[in-house]
Amino acid sequence: MDILQIVLLGIVASILYIILKDTNSSFAFFLIIVTSIIIFLAIIHQIGIIFEMIQELGRNANVEGLYMETILKIIGIAYIAELGASLTKEAGLGAVAKNIELAGKIFIILLAVPIITAVIEAIVSFLPSV
C-alpha cells in the first residue's frame, strides 16, 4: 500500500466518521480504530526497513548495539504512545490520553538515562583533571 492509498483510506474513514458520529458513535469510533490498524499494518514493512537502516548506520559508526537498540525502543515508545493518546483523545478521553503521553515520556526517560550517563562520562573523560 503506497502513500496515496493510505491517504485515500484516511480520507474515506474520516468522511464516514463524520457521517456516523452523530447517529452511531460506537461504530464510528470502531471504524477509526480499524482504519488505524489497517494503516499500521500497511506501514509495518517500512518500519522494519527504517529499523534496519538505523542499525546499519549504528554499525557503520561503531556505536554499541545496546545504544542502537535503546534508541529504537525509544522511537517505538514515542510512536506507540502517540497512537494510543490520539485514539483515546478521539474517544473523548482527554485525561486518559494525557496519562498515556506521560507514561510514554517516563518510559523514554527511563531508557535514555544510560545513554545520557554514557555521554556525560565521555565528556568528563575529555576534561582536564583539576
List per-block mean pLDDT (blocks of 10 residues) for the chain, which spans 130 residues. Answer: 90 92 88 89 87 83 78 90 89 92 96 89 83
Here the cell at position 79 is 510512536
Long-range CB pairs of 124-129 (<8 Å, 24+ gap) are none
Distance CA 105, CA 3 (A): 29
- End-to-end CA, the chain: 60
Q: What is the largest CA-CA distance in the chain?
A: 73
Which pLDDT score is estimated for 74? 92
Which pLDDT score is estimated for 106? 97
